[in-house]
A and B are shown apart, each in its own frame.
Chain A
Amino acid sequence: MSAISELSSFSRRKGKATAEEKKANGRDNKAAYIFLLPWLVGLVAITIGPMLMSLYLSFTDYNLLQPPEWTGLENFTRMLTDARLHNSLRVTFTYVFIGVPLQLAVALLIALVLDKGLRGLPFYRSVFYLPSLLGGSVAVAILWKQIFGTTGLVNQVLAMFGIQGPGWISDPSTALGSIILLHVWTFGAPMIIFLAGLRQIPNMYYEAAKVDGATTLQQFWKITMPMLSPIIFFNLVLQIIGSFQSFTQAFIVSGGNGGPSDSTMFFTLYLYQKGFGQFDMGYASAMAWVLLLIIGVFTAINFIASKYWVFYDD
């Protein structure tokens, strides 16, 4: 029922192709490649090319102004003792492991409510999707800064109740939390996907369950969750990959320095600072590859773990 399950059954079929089929496929492929050409050129020129370059640079000392010098694994060994890098990993992991589950939970909850057949559903769907369109943008990050400032909206509301709130984004103990909240707020994209998934669950299951006297909660755990698990998995993979690479929000909210006291210093932000602020592009390239590795490992773990909880209805 989902894109992922279709993809895997497709690859299974492909393995059994006969020689004749292969020949025909070859002709089709040629046409396909020609149609793909513009995209391929783009992929190679602006993705793979720079990636290979950065792989090379990660083994060099490159200060942007002079040609790179080969230094072998030095950039990688330096990372082992770089306390700020370790801190940036801590910040990034906190962001991913708190932000992603929280965001998906909110997205699912809203999707469930909207799925109950609200009047004016398209309107609400758009309203709830809006933050996702805006959330990654610079404008909203700036707005966030105002809302959570020392004299911002949140503290003004708190002041009505006699509470003196902290400077949410300027206090090291709450700054990361504010950015996680911004991330959770942009739940629209996973929500839309959840909503589509919920729509595909056949109503007969619920009807049968009702006849058997299942409560709403039981229906949720026994029908909705298993049927929706491929969608949850899909969202989880996408969100984890996206969150590890998150940059804009922290960059804008902290004014580009990951502050206060490095409390919002994401891995990507530190990478940017090293490369473009401190003329250490070799090190920054090495960091980029470490990030790729981390994302790869977590995606692999996700796929392995999915065998135990994702239910494919095919």
Chain B
Amino acid sequence: MPLFSRSASAAAKQPAATSSTGARRPLRRTGVAAAAAAVVMALSLSACGSGSGQQSADGPVELRFSWWGGDKRAQLTQEAIKQFEAENPNIKIKPEFGDWSGYWDKLATQVAANDAPDVIQMDEKYITEYSSRGALLDLSKYEIDTSKLDEAALNAGKGPDGLTGIAAGINAATILANPKVFEAAGVPLPDDSKWTWKDFERIAADVTSKSPKGTYGAAAYGTDEASLGVWLRQNGKSLYTSDGKLGFEPGDIAEWWAFLKELSEKKAVPTASEVVEAEAAPLDQSGLATGKNGMAFWWSNQAPALEKASGSDLKILRFPTQTGSADDAGLWYKASQFWSASSRTKHPEETAKFINFLANNVKAGEVLLADRGVYPNSEVRAAIESKLTPSDVKVVKFIDQIKDELGEAPAPPPKGAGAIQEIIKRYTSEVLFNRLSTEEAGKKAHDEMKSAISS
């Protein structure tokens, strides 16, 4: 059993008297040595507890697989696991899943404790963080067929550390509209092929004024980087540059907040307090799902889950533009999430086999459908077309529809990008509560983001 396999330098700094014989000396004289010995013991104990258990070569192999997501995803994914286990009786998959909010804290802790799951659902915000620090397996070295995968999606998982993630789906930033709210207010749904941000403001404010108290035309943006990314792209900037820096100036983000404030003043979006409360709500309890918002900012793959939660037939809309032409919407295909593997997995072959199954096997596709976005594998996509539910079909159609309007693919988020969302959220509430001017917020947020991704 390797003691200190990871932190040999720490071991070197321990006093020399930490051999196990120390424990046999009379207790009263060796308090320090005994303590030190116990430290070693404690550390080695934790090392023993890591990994997913050692099995003999021909016994069954157990892999741990963790993802974030709601109930619907959990059901689908567990069904896919069953299919895989039926084909591979020697491999058992142990699922671990939870909400997005706790997922990353848990993963960081597990990786630090040398206890990472074998298969990890990864996000673009964190993939550089983990892969540049050697935590993810280079999947190109294992048997995973990438020939059928969409090229852009495949490239999104490549970096200087190899192919550390296989795109699980393709999605795009969208605005989802709840026709029920519009109907109740007597406001027609917007034409998303030519609407501007001014139209968005006018329509949302209109819905609010004609709806019962507590219902708003739109949810506020400013709680994640997707809506900021779109805004910046529409103004010729970007969230990040290809060399891993910020692609915008403090003034750009200040303008974005200035417009949000305008929306808030015209009551197109909920009050500051309600915005803060909505941030913490899971998907099923979001304003769109509960019928409190006419429109909200979501990723395209989340539409079916939201449709289920809201019980109404949602409409997927393009983002508004500054010019009124959908060609300037600046959308892009995003790898919704990745299948990654821990670099310390004891069973890389089996792990790769499972990822290959998820990415390329029609049986997996028939179960997972479009929950994690449109399938990047063209063959699977074609094979499952007839199985898609009406809400999945809507998503696939939307992704096809915007194909010719896409801007160029954005630069991948650099190391430290995981902290950006929290910074955006915090300064959005500073702005909405009038505690900072938009210029001050822009400057401070820009400074903080800069130091977050440069450290």
Contact = CB atoms under 8 A, between A and B. Distances in A.
A44 B429 contact: no
A49 B6 contact: no
B34 interface: yes
Nearest to A70: B9
Given A151-B214, A255-B280, A260-B433, A67 B101 contact: no
Nearest to A173: B433
B422 interface: yes
B35 A261 contact: no
B409 interface: no
A211 B13 CA distance: 71
A256 interface: yes
Nearest to B109: A276
Given A167-B273, A255-B280, A256-B101, A45 B41 contact: yes
A229 to B, nearest CB: 36
Interface in B412-455: 416, 418-419, 422, 425-426, 429-430, 433, 435, 452, 455
Contacts of A254: 280
A44 B35 contact: yes
B38 A49 contact: yes
Given A33-B27, A64-B112, A65-B130, A278 B452 contact: yes
A243 to B, nearest CB: 24
A281 B34 CA distance: 27
Contacts, number: 121
A149 B130 contact: no
B108 A261 contact: no
A48 B429 contact: no
Contact of B134 (A48, A65, A68): A65
Nearest to A171: B273
A66 interface: yes
A150 B279 contact: no
B129 to A, nearest CB: 7
A276 B103 CA distance: 11
A52 interface: yes
B108 A171 contact: no
A105 B133 CA distance: 52
B43 interface: yes
Interface string B73-113: 00000000000000000000000000001101100110110
B426 A277 contact: no
Interface string A18-55: 00000000000000010000000100111011101100
B426 A45 contact: no
A310 to B, nearest CB: 33
10 contacts: A41-B38, A45-B41, A65-B135, A67-B6, A166-B273, A171-B276, A254-B280, A257-B426, A261-B429, A277-B422
Interface of A: 33, 41, 44-46, 48-50, 52-53, 56, 63-68, 149-151, 166-167, 169-172, 254-257, 259-262, 272-273, 276-281
Interface of B: 6-10, 13, 27, 34-35, 38-39, 41-43, 45, 101-102, 104-105, 108-109, 111-112, 129-130, 133-135, 214, 271-277, 279-280, 416, 418-419, 422, 425-426, 429-430, 433, 435, 452, 455
